[in-house]
Structures are given as C-alpha cells and as structure tokens.
C-alpha cells in the first residue's frame, strides 16, 4: 500500500546511506528509531527473554544452595550431638547456618516475586501508560 509517507521514508533512508558512505553519521533513521522507542519502548523481546533467563538461572542457583543446606543440616545435627564442640561453638555454627538459610529464603522469595510480577504484565514492552 502506497502512502504519502513512503517517499519520505525512502528519501530519508537514501540520505542516511549517502551520509554513511561519505563517512558521516546517519541522521534520519536514528531519529526515527528514537521516536519509535519512545512510542513502544526500547526493550525488545530478546531483552525480556535474556532478563528472564538470568532470573531463572539465579533461581536455579538458589535451589541448589538450598538443597546443599538441607543435606548439610543432617551432618550439622550429627556434629552438634557428637560432643566434640563447645556450647559456644554450637551456638555460632547454628546461628551461621540459620542466617545462611534465611538469606537464601529471602533471595528466593524476591526472585519468585519478580518473576510473578513480570509474568503478570499484560504489556511487557510498556506501550500502555
């Protein structure tokens, strides 16, 4: 479909190509691209996919850490019952273990919440304001 804007777009693209071939920066298409980004946002589907991929990687890492802590808990309980440690050492080890476990839970909760918020977006590119 031919419209009144088609010749202007073509002229702008040709002008940019001539400028680039002469060693100068393009003018028209970067301007058009920035206007388009203002309208639909600068984030692409690929950007969103990469962000989500990184978040899922973090979640998998936390799941692994949580699994390791669960396995270590049994060993820790056996060590605490063994009698080899003083009461002070038992308190320090238990406190550190609990702090690590709570930190993983908090981090996991933040990540799951951010995933839920992302998935709940009806307009992932932010075009509707």
Based on the fold, state whether residues 74 and 18 are members of the same structural domain: no
Q: Which residues of 20-43 are buried (b: 16+ CB within 10 A; e: fewer)?
A: eeeeeebebeeeeeeeeeeeeeee
- Looking at residue 106, what is its pLDDT? 92
Based on the fold, state whether residues 53 and 108 are members of the same structural domain: yes
Residue 66 lies in a domain: yes
User: In terms of residues, how long is the chain?
Assistant: 129
- Looking at residue 126, what is its pLDDT? 57
Based on the fold, state whether residues 89 and 53 are members of the same structural domain: yes
How many structural domains is the chain composed of?
2
Residue 80 lies in a domain: yes
Q: What is the DSSP string of 9-54?
A: HHHHHHHHHHHHHTT----HHHHHHHHHHHHH-S--HHHHHHHHHH
Based on the fold, state whether residues 9 and 33 are members of the same structural domain: yes
Based on the fold, state whether residues 36 and 49 are members of the same structural domain: no
Q: What are phi and psi of 97, to 5 degrees?
A: -65, -45
- Looking at residue 4, what is its pLDDT? 57
Structural domain for 17, as ranges: 5-40
Q: What is the pTM of this model?
A: 0.51
- Looking at residue 84, what is its pLDDT? 85
Which residues, given as ranges, of the chain have pLDDT below 70? 1-7, 41-43, 45, 121-129
């Amino acid at each position: 479909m031919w419209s009144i804007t088609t010749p202007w777009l073509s002229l702008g693209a040709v002008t940019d190509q001539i400028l680039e071939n002469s060693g100068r920066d393009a003018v028209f298409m970067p301007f058009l691209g920035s206007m388009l980004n203002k309208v639909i946002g600068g984030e692409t589907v690929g950007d969103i996919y990469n962000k989500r991929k990184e978040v899922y990687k973090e979640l998998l890492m936390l799941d692994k850490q949580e699994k390791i802590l669960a396995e270590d808990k049994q060993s820790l309980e056996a060590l605490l019952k063994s009698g080899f440690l003083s009461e002070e050492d038992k308190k320090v080890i238990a406190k550190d273990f609990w702090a690590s476990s709570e930190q993983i839970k908090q981090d996991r909760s933040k990540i799951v919440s951010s995933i839920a918020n992302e998935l709940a977006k009806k307009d992932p590119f932010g075009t509707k304001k």
